[in-house]
């Protein structure tokens, strides 16, 4: 099998390594700016002969690397509300572990259609009141998340543990629309929260033998570089750039869901 072939470090060719690192870099950039970039890794991994289940676990290695780098960058630039980020992480971690455990129990076709509707709603909201995404909503911003916020974060965690693709978009939407952060500060919290929950999810997949370690580690080099690059531009260029990137990603994600299920 191809999987047996690519597990051998002595046989992996330079072109495959280059493709994995390039794909990882693109994933790191897209995920840090918005979300759903992990679809690139899924596609590349499955082209190499890795099953969807194995790909779902393997991509988590790169996610840990890119979010670690991006979190440090946002923190150094004062764009990470670490206090609230830890509070938000708790329900998301719990939800992510549950989502990883029930990953095979949801009808994929029904789930895909629901996801299309949600993405269209998010796209509408971005254009309907763009100032919320650029400046945040100070009337909603508070020193501590409200109780019902935790239910939203728990649900997002379940989704992130289940498949991860698009979880960044949902997190950004929650942090901007219900927590009141602008896009840049929301991005800082987003990457930190994903960094916190991803190791827990990775362990679940590891225990179930659904991680291809060599491929994941090679791709994670690109993830790391992509996370550093995107976080730098997100901080320097501000919310306007992140919003443009978010719109493009959502549109492409909707097209992918409709025409390439």
Q: Is residue 2 in a domain?
A: no
| E strand or H helix at 79 | none
| Number of domains within the chain | 1
Reading the block at residue 111, the tokens are 């789930």
Q: Is residue 96 in a domain?
A: yes
Name which of 177, 195, 166 is nearest 38 in CA terms: 166
- Helix and strand totals (H; E) in the chain: 12, 0
How confident is the model at residue 4, as a pLDDT? 47
How confident is the model at residue 233, as a pLDDT? 77
Measured in whole angstroms, the distance separating CA 186 from the mean position of its chain's CA atoms is: 13
Residue 259, SS3? helix
Report d(CA 63, CA 86) in Å as an integer.
18
How confident is the model at residue 123, as a pLDDT? 67
Give pLDDT < 70 ranges for the chain.
Answer: 1-12, 34-36, 103-108, 110-112, 114-115, 118-119, 122-123, 125-145, 234-243, 245-247, 249-250, 253, 256-257, 260-261
Q: Is residue 4 in a domain?
A: no
| Residue 104 DSSP class | T
Residue 157, SS3? helix
Report d(CA 45, CA 41) in Å as an integer.
6
How confident is the model at residue 34, as a pLDDT? 65
Measured in whole angstroms, the distance separating CA 140 from the mean position of its chain's CA atoms is: 24
Report d(CA 37, CA 53) in Å as an integer.
17
Q: Is residue 3 in a domain?
A: no
How confident is the model at residue 5, as a pLDDT? 43
Q: Is residue 1 in a domain?
A: no
Report d(CA 178, CA 137) in Å as an integer.
8
pLDDT per residue over 22-65, tens digit each? 888 888 887 777 666 777 787 788 778 787 778 888 989 999 99
Other Cβ atoms less than 10 A from the Cβ of 78: the count is 10
Structural domain boundaries, residue 72: 14-259
Report d(CA 122, CA 247) in Å as an integer.
9
Q: What is the mean pLDDT of the chain?
A: 78
Reading the block at residue 156, the tokens are 């997002």
Q: Is residue 6 in a domain?
A: no
Q: Is residue 5 in a domain?
A: no
Q: Is residue 31 in a domain?
A: yes
How confident is the model at residue 103, as a pLDDT? 66
Name which of 239, 136, 231 is nearest 192 in CA terms: 231
pLDDT per residue over 134-143, tens digit each? 454 554 555 5
């Amino acid at each position: 099998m191809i999987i047996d072939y690519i597990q051998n470090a002595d046989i992996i060719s330079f072109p495959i390594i280059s493709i994995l690192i390039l794909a990882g870099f693109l994933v790191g950039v897209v995920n840090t700016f918005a979300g759903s970039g992990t679809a690139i890794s899924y596609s590349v991994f499955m082209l190499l002969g890795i099953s969807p289940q194995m790909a779902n676990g393997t991509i988590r290695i790169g996610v840990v690397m890119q979010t670690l780098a991006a979190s440090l960058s946002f923190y150094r630039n004062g764009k990470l509300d670490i206090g609230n980020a830890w509070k938000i992480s708790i329900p998301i971690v719990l939800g992510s572990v549950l989502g990883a455990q029930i990953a095979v129990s949801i009808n994929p076709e029904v789930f895909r259609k629901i996801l299309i509707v949600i993405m269209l709603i998010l796209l509408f909201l971005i254009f309907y009141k763009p100032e919320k995404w650029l400046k945040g909503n100070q009337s909603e911003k508070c020193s501590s998340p409200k109780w019902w916020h935790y239910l939203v974060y728990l649900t997002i965690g379940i989704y992130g543990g289940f498949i991860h693709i698009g979880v960044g978009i949902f997190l950004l939407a929650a942090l901007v629309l219900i927590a009141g952060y602008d896009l840049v500060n929301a991005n800082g919290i987003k990457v930190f929260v994903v960094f916190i929950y991803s190791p827990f999810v990775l362990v679940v997949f590891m225990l179930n033998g659904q991680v291809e370690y060599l491929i994941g580690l090679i791709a994670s080099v690109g993830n790391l570089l992509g996370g550093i690059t995107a976080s730098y531009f997100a901080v320097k260029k501000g919310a306007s750039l992140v919003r443009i990137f978010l719109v493009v990603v959502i549109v492409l994600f909707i097209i992918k869901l409709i025409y390439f299920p």
